[in-house]
Chains A and B, each alone.
Chain A
Amino acid sequence: MRGSLGMFDMKGQSDGILVRRVLEGDTAAYAGLITRYRDRLARYATRMLGNSADAEDALQDAFVRGYRYLARCTDPERFGAWLFGILVNRCRTLGSQRARRQRLIIDDQAALERASVSHSEGDEALRDAIEHAVAQLQPDQREAFLLKYVEEMSYQEMKQLTGARISALKMRVARARQELRQLLAEVDDD
C-alpha cells in the first residue's frame, strides 16, 4: 500500500508500538489506532455499502475483530493494511446480507449531510449522482473499482486483500468503468 496505511506517525507512536502496547494489556492504546484509521476506513465502507449506518456497523465490526485477533497481525507496523483487509471482508458480508433482505439502495441524504465535505451547491447534486451510480454497480465490481481508484491500490495489493486473481480484478475494474461511464452519461443527459 502507498504508505498511507503503514507507518503513520501521528502521536509519535507507530502502529507497531501501539499494537504491542495493546498486546501487553494496555487496551486504551487501541483508541489511538481507531482514531488513526477510522476516517479512512469510513470512506471505503460508506462508498462500498452506500450509507453511513451500514458503514458504521462494518467499521465497528472490523475494529472489534482487529482487537480480538490482534495477536494474529504478523506485521504490527502495517496494522492498518491488515485492518483494511478485515473491513473489506466485513463489507462483503454486510453487503450480501443486505442483498438478501432485498433492501433498495437509496441515497442516505442525512448521512451525506453529516459528511464533513466542503463543496459547492452544484457539486452536491453531482456527488449524489455519482454515489448513486456507484451503488448500482455489482458488489465485486464496486469493490474492485473503489480499491483501485479511491484507495489507490495496486492489483497485487488487491489480490492479497481479496484473494481474487489479478485478471479477474482487472476485468471487474474494466466493467465497473464501463458501467459508471454509462450511468454518468445518463446523468449528464438529464
Chain B
Amino acid sequence: MARTRSGVALIGVAIACSLSLAAPGEAQEPRLQGRVPEPTRSAINVILDNAHAAGLPTEPLVDRALEGVAKGADPDRILAAVRRLSGELHSAFDALGPRSSAAEIVAGASAIRAGARAEDLAYLRELRADQPLTVATATLADLVAVGVPTDTAVAAVIALAEEADDAQYIAFRRNVERDIALGASPVTALGVRLEAAADFANRSLPQRPRPRKP
C-alpha cells in the first residue's frame, strides 16, 4: 500500500494506481502505472525524482524498470537494477561534465558498467572535447561485452580518441567482433585491429614504457 504525503491510505493496487495523488515535488511516472507493482513503483519514483533533480535523464531508468517487467523479473530485482543504473548515470554525469547530452550520459553509464573509471571518461572528454562521446563510450562498453578485458578496451578507445571519428569507432568495434566470431581471442583480435589502425611506420619500438600496477 502506498501512502501519499497527505497521509491518505490507498486500498488495493488498482485503486492506488488510479487515485494516487502526487504530493508536491513527487512526480509519478505514468508509464510505470499498471506495470510495476507497489511499493516498488514508489521507490522507483523516488529514484527518478532524485535523478531529475540532479539533471540526469530519467528515461533510461524507466526503461530499465519496464525491461524488468517485460522479462518477468521480481520487483526487488527490478528496483535493484534501477538503483544500480542510477548510480552509474550519476558517475557518468560527474565525469562527462555539465554540458553532456542525455545520450552521452547513458552511453557513459554503460562504459562505467563495463568497468571504466570516471577519470577514463574525463580523459576521453579532454581528448575529444569538440565531439559527442556517445559512440566512443558505447564502443568501450561493447568491446567489453564481447570479451575484451576492461583496461584493454579502455586503452584502445583512448588510443583512438583523437583521430577516429564515430564511423571509425563503429568499424573498429565491428571488425574486432567479427574476428572474435571467427575464432580469435578478444585481446588478439583487438591488438590486430589496433595495429592495423595505426599509420605508423615503425611498430616494433623496443621497450616502450609499460603500464604498471601501483
Q: A residues within 8 Å of B by Cβ?
A: 92-93, 95-97, 100, 140, 162-165, 168
Contact = CB atoms under 8 A, between A and B. Distances in A.
B207 A164 contact: yes
B202 A140 contact: no
A92 B207 contact: no
A162 B207 CA distance: 8
Contacts, number: 22
A93 B201 contact: yes
Q: Chain B contact residues: over half helix, strand or loop, or mixed?
A: loop
B209 A163 contact: yes
Nearest to B126: A71
B205 interface: yes
Interface string B30-49: 00000000000000000000
A97 B202 CA distance: 7
Interface string B197-210: 00011100111110
B207 A165 contact: yes
- Give the interface size bracket for B toward A: under 10
Q: Chain A contact residues: over half helix, strand or loop, or mixed?
A: helix
Interface string B175-204: 000000000000000000000000011100
Nearest to A96: B202
A71 to B, nearest CB: 8
Contact of A97 (B201, B206, B208, B209): B201
Contact of A140 (B206, B208, B209): B206
A92 B208 contact: no
B201 A163 contact: no
Q: Which 7 A-B pairs have the closest CB atoms?
A: A96-B202, A97-B201, A163-B209, A163-B207, A164-B207, A163-B208, A93-B202
B207 A96 contact: no
Contacts of B208: 163
B206 A96 contact: no
A164 B207 CA distance: 6
A165 B208 CA distance: 10
B23 to A, nearest CB: 49
Contact of B202 (A92, A162, A165): A92
B75 to A, nearest CB: 49
Contact of A93 (B200, B206, B207, B209): B200
B211 to A, nearest CB: 12
Contact of B207 (A95, A97, A100, A168): A168
B81 to A, nearest CB: 39
Contacts of B202: 92-93, 95-97
B209 A96 contact: no
A23 B181 CA distance: 46
Contact of B205 (A92, A100, A168): A92
